[in-house]
Chains A and B, each alone.
Chain A
Amino acid sequence: MSEIVKKRSKSRVSGVDKFLTFIRVFMATLIVLGVVAFIAQQIWPDNPFAEWRNPDARGLTGDQFKGLVVSGLSQGAMYGLIALGYSMVYGVLGFINFAHGEVFMVGTMSGWITSEKLNDAGLWESNFVLSLFLIILVAITTSTTTAVITERIAYRPLRNSPRLIPLITSIGVSFFIQNATLGLFGPASKGYPQLPKWLSKQRSILTVEIAGTKILVMVVAALSMACLWYLVERTQTGRAMRAVAEDKEIASLMGINVNRTIVITFGVGGTMAGVGGILWGLLFRSVTHMTGFLPGIKAFTAAVVGGIGNMGGAMVGGVFLGSAESIAPLVILEPLGVPGVTQLKDAIAFTVLVLVLLFKPAGLFGEKLSQEDRA
């Protein structure tokens, strides 16, 4: 029956569909053209096709390209860590926790406070590994607490309301946390203390020049992902989480404490965001009350790209989005003759979101949602 309805409504609204097809074809052509022009520039700099739109473009050297890929990967790893929180909450409760970006920001902020204090005490320089461990611990605690408290206050009473209601609530929570942080710590941008030389210096691995910080970011992200995988796939708690994501009612009939499992889900999401927050702090070494906003939306994009509810997908989606964001402006837009392409980095991320939802709404690896959430 619903098939028939779908077919009929499709035949009736062909205008919109034609338009969507047009957008799909147009965007695909644009991307292909950009990439081809980029390749043409790289192989044969003087060819007319490469000079057609942007005669000044010089293309990229191999090292530049590798640098872009590396920074894209490390940034993507962080997006992936944040995306896990979105993905898990969406999988379990079926709503977008808009405030998750703020949970991440709170982690970065608390990491800054701790690192500042440790730096004053001298521990930051004398024993960096210990202080790193400490700030990660503090950030995880703060982020997890924030996530759990918001769940308790703002989301639990709304569990059975229409889907948009918790989303709107989470927007409110997001603005509240953002501006509370602004009020508490002031508007100035806060800088993390200098990292030790042995960590931040450039290293050459397999001909790729890479800063030590980025290696650290990727390693920590990979480790956290592995821990999470173990938690979800190999432990009792993880099984409970998967069961609740599948069907809350039946899970509770099977003796699973649904409330507790949901709190754990929020907590685990918060933990990942806390780790991501510290990595952000180490990589960019600055934090303001707005730090969480854009990474939050981008991480959600990453979750959608990988297929929402799908944890491996969230991580891969994060890496994909990070690389796309850092490579696409120079590879697709620059050869097409768009000036000032690096400014459009954020716009690229949003465009990826729109494109994924147009081409493959279930994400690259398929969404994992219960029947009711999919409706």
Chain B
Amino acid sequence: MMTTNLTLKKPFELNWKRILFWGSICALSQVFICLVGLPSELNRRILIESTLSLGYLFILWVPLLFGYVVSKIVKLEGIENPKQGAADLLSGALTGLLGSLGLVLLMLGIDNLDMRDPLINWNPKLFRLLTFENSISFGSLVWIPVGVGLGTVGASLHQMSSQIRKMTAYAMFGLFSFAVLEDVIGDLSEGFRLEWLSDMIYAKKGGMTVTSTIVLAIVLALLPLLVQGKFKKTVDRYRSEAKPEDKRRNSVVLFSIVAVLVLVLPWFLGRIVNELLANVGLFLLLALGLNIVVGLAGLLDLGYVAFFAVGGYTTAVLTSPNSPWFSPETHFGISLLVVVVMATLAGLLIGAPVIRMRGDYLAIVTLGFGEIIRLLFLSDWLKPYLGGSQGITNIPAIDLGPWEVRGADPRSVFYMVLAFCVLAIYVSWRLQGSRLGRSWMAIREDESVAEVMGINIVNSKLMAFVVGAVLASFSGAVLAAKVGSVFPKSFEILVSIIILVVVIVGGMGSITGVMVGSLVLIGILGGPRQPGLLQEFQNFKLLIYGALLVFMMLKRPEGLVPTARRTRELHQEEYLQDAWLGDDESEDREEVGEQL
């Protein structure tokens, strides 16, 4: 796959095999994306008024990516590497061309063959989308130049000066964020009485206006020129030179600014965005708990949803008047105490049988426990106690004296979740450096060595399970009060997997990473049942989560915001190699940062 030409290349010598390989993969992926239904479904979401919808974007990034891939040259140490040249641009263009040919074939196929029986997206809707509601020849005339152009652009990314590359990246990524964050920005500007701002950027029917796109693109592209790495330099200088007292004072200031922002901002936000933030918070709480189990202690718990369910059901039984068997209708605060006890018990019960198992068996067995618990909640056997598939409804709002936390008022839920999240972050942060946290990390890295060092493995692992369980059960309790009901359907295995994706994408073991992960993933794509900013993704969320999981594991197993220790662990071989080849580490790191 990664064949490299070690000799110097002639200017227009093309590696046909490579181009054909990547070109056909490009075509296949474009056809696959079309047939899965991404473009037709996402076409509703307009990014730039009357120019670009999310659906088209999903076809367009493919030639860009493969153009980039096909012209990539693996750099080898100690050998004169071939220079990027016009040949590479040409191969990028050809790859894009092949991709577009795939689309043309698809159009011809839809027009002439009827394959609608198994393939549900083999329909006129997709055809109209691909031909721009015109004829096939028109569609081909558009797609072929577009594919060639994007392939060339993708290939030229290697040859741009880093300054231009940075500018393009800022512009593209910034525009994408602006388009995606339409709801939030609109909401915010409304809250601050700045409606004119959002009116200026966005069109009435959704999507950005063409003028604002161009203006924003220019502004965003100029941004790196203005900043010129000053920001990074300041941070670096600060990190290396500042006195401890200064650092402490500054972090207090920074912390208070963030705190004030988080506390005040919800008042300027509308219902939908507040709801979104509440969901993000709920999943952040779960992810922080799983981060302790998976990230710190290295126990891959796939049945994490069980603890979430325990929290939800305990709250439901204790506070709801509709609980079929035992309904004391206690206050949320009291039920929370019981929730802690129950979660601890559940953590011990599930943890004790599995801690001696090999890591991968542990994963499957915990997954089994998660399913067992859901099936029990669902069964007729426990129906007299827990309501079976009808669940428990009518869970009252949380009464906090002057305030009330209820699902109809997402802002209150957000504050409630925020309180729990702050607690969870504090606990995780303090635990990380504690004796227990260090022993978790030692167990994660090498169990036998940790044992020989005198760490009580069984107790430490059990503690990880218990702490994780308690955090998850808090999330479950708040969810129950927020939604007002609990059903076995809300506690499917899917929840565990999505939280796992959040933790892994963010960075295992890194608190900041988990925060970023849940904000980006849950906020934009949404949770298992909760829609995110891009509600159109509802049906494709899991597809993307799955692909993301594979991608992260292959390309960046340490996550977006990794911890130094974890990175070293996962890239041990490369580090050793770098040390052996001489110290080129700093250069490599910069490259990684740029790719992001």
**A130 in contact (CB, < 8 A):** no
A12-B456 in contact given A165-B553, A184-B36, A304-B361 (Cβ < 8 Å): yes
Question: Which residues of the partner chain B approach A5 to less than 8 Å between Cβ atoms?
Answer: 448, 451-452
Question: Which residues of the partner chain B approach A354 to less than 8 Å between Cβ atoms?
Answer: 353, 365, 368-369
Contact segment of B102-110, B264-272, B332-340, B370-378: B370-378
* B541 to A, closest residue via Cβ: A179
* A177 to B, closest residue via Cβ: B546
From B119, B357, B457, B497, A9 is in contact (CB under 8 Å) with B457
**B317 in contact (CB, < 8 A):** no
**A30 in contact (CB, < 8 A):** no
Question: Which residues of the partner chain B approach A343 to less than 8 Å between Cβ atoms?
Answer: 375, 378-381
Which chain A residues in 47-101 approach chain B with CB under 8 Å?
A: 95-96
From B120, B298, B371, B540, A185 is in contact (CB under 8 Å) with B120
B553 touches A172 (CB 8 A): yes
**B121 in contact (CB, < 8 A):** yes
B368 touches A297 (CB 8 A): yes
A168 touches B120 (CB 8 A): no
A333–B427 alpha-carbon span in the complex (Å): 43
Contact mask for chain A residues 13-36; partner B; CB cutoff 8 A; 1 contact, 0 none: 100100110010000000000000
A20 touches B451 (CB 8 A): no
A177–B117 alpha-carbon span in the complex (Å): 20
From A176, A183, A346, B37 is in contact (CB under 8 Å) with A183
**A351 in contact (CB, < 8 A):** yes
**B583 in contact (CB, < 8 A):** no
Total interface residues in chain A, CB < 8 Å: 61
From B367, B458, B547, B550, A13 is in contact (CB under 8 Å) with B458
B35 touches A172 (CB 8 A): no
* A338 to B, closest residue via Cβ: B381
From A2, A164, A173, A304, B359 is in contact (CB under 8 Å) with A164
Question: Which residues of the partner chain B approach A23 to less than 8 Å between Cβ atoms?
Answer: 352-353
A168 touches B543 (CB 8 A): no
B121 touches A183 (CB 8 A): yes
Which chain A residues in 318-375 approach chain B with CB under 8 Å?
A: 338-341, 343-344, 346-347, 350-351, 353-354, 357-358, 361
Question: Which residues of the partner chain B approach A211 to less than 8 Å between Cβ atoms?
Answer: none
Contact segment of A153-161, A225-233, A251-259, A265-273: A153-161
Question: Which residues of the partner chain B approach A338 to less than 8 Å between Cβ atoms?
Answer: 381
A167 touches B360 (CB 8 A): yes
**B545 in contact (CB, < 8 A):** yes
A48–B357 alpha-carbon span in the complex (Å): 42
B363 touches A167 (CB 8 A): yes
**A104 in contact (CB, < 8 A):** no
Question: Which residues of the partner chain A approach B36 to less than 8 Å between Cβ atoms?
Answer: 180, 183-184
From B360, B448, B451, A95 is in contact (CB under 8 Å) with B360
**A171 in contact (CB, < 8 A):** yes
**B60 in contact (CB, < 8 A):** no
**B355 in contact (CB, < 8 A):** yes
Min CB–CB distance B424 → chain A (angstroms): 23
**A128 in contact (CB, < 8 A):** no
Which chain B residues in 368-405 approach chain A with CB under 8 Å?
A: 368-369, 371-372, 375-376, 378-381, 383
Min CB–CB distance B340 → chain A (angstroms): 20
Q: Which 8 A-B pairs have the closest CB atoms?
A: A340-B380, A172-B549, A175-B546, A176-B546, A183-B36, A350-B368, A179-B543, A172-B550
